Amino acid sequence: MLKLLFVCLGNICRSPAAENIMNHLADKAGVSDRIQCDSAGTANYHAGNPPDRRMQAAATNRQIPMLGSARQFTKADFTAFDLILAMDRENYQNILSLDPQGQYQDKVKLMCDFATQHPDKEVPDPYYGGADGFDYVLDLLTDACSELLSQLEARNFTNV
């Protein structure tokens, strides 16, 4: 089973959305037994809290359940997960700062590296934006998760 970890700043908007979108897509594709998803934040601002209510509402409109509770990324995540997907460059750098020897840097990727329908290089944080920001983030993450899933399937669920 391939273990994926999605990481943003607070773990209540972008990364839980990516986790739940990937679970939803894997379930629809009949491969949920091949992937295990989780999410974390580089900060512990919201530890223990459920996903942001606005993200929950936007995801519910798409029939995507938003499950989970926020937690902070730890060094142990490097060994617990096969692929770590950062939502933006700041998250990416914060993750790598916990790996000063560079031992796990090949496991860490930017989520938007998998987007094929959106030109974004980073997943924007919708927390302080308007409600349409949540829908855009869901569109972008669905795009990136769909491509990631395709690549994983093509490699028989070995790392990308």
Residues known to be catalytic: 8, 14, 125
C-alpha torsion 152→1→5→63, nearest 10: 70
Burial (0-12, 13-18, 19+ Cβ within 10 Å), 51 = buried
Query: What residues contact 151, with CB distance under 8 A and at least 6 apart?
Result: 114, 160
